[in-house]
Structures are given as structure tokens and as C-alpha cells.
Structure 1
Amino acid sequence: MIRKRGGKYVVLSEKTGRSFGAYDTRTEAEKRLRQIEVFKHLKAKGGGASRRRPA
């Protein structure tokens, strides 16, 4: 969810209220929220965007 706080748009977790960043524009906040949704979907499928190389 996106809330406006102190002149910034803050991306928050709907379940915990955890902040995922504050942005100057609503467009930037919406972009970040979409990124979070993509990673949440990947995690649910069992995949992920791991940047680690196999040993």
C-alpha cells in the first residue's frame, strides 16, 4: 500500500506496516510496489532472483 507521509509517498507492507521506502512522487512509489509484487510472486513459485553464484 502507498501512504503519503510528510510530503513523501511511502510504500508499506499491508500485513506488517513495514516501510519499503519513501519516494518523492506517487509514480516512483507505484514502481517500487510493482517490484515488490513481482518478487513476492517469484518467491511463492519457488524461484527467485538470486545473485549468488553456485559454489
Structure 2
Amino acid sequence: MDFPWATFGARSFLALTLGATTGRLIADLVSGRAPAQDLTPFSANRFAFTGGHA
């Protein structure tokens, strides 16, 4: 593993209800498998400046 993996952000009942889904997605990513869901919308790059007006 080249870098540590972490998940965060879910609180209260969401952590309980989404825990298994989050665990499967992280397991897929850590093991090099393609995740079952497209994770592009959750990329940190969505905050990157792409030009134009701010």
C-alpha cells in the first residue's frame, strides 16, 4: 500500500446504514478492483479550479 486509506463524513444513522457499502468500496479500491459505483463525483478534484471566472 503506497498511502493510507480513510473514509470520513458519515455521522449518526448514516454511518450505520452506509458502513457496509463504504467498506466494500474501500476494499475494492485497496485491492485494485474496480468499485461497483462510479466514484468520480466524490473526487477531491471536483474542487479544482478549471479556469474561467471564480
Query: Normalising by the residue count of structure 2, what TM-score does the alignment of the two structures yield?
Result: 0.37
Instruction: Identify the structure with the greater helix proportion.
Output: 2
Q: Which has the higher contact order (CA 8 A, sep 6+)?
A: 2
Query: Normalising by the residue count of structure 1, what TM-score does the alignment of the two structures yield?
Result: 0.37
Instruction: Identify the structure with the greater strand proportion.
Output: 1
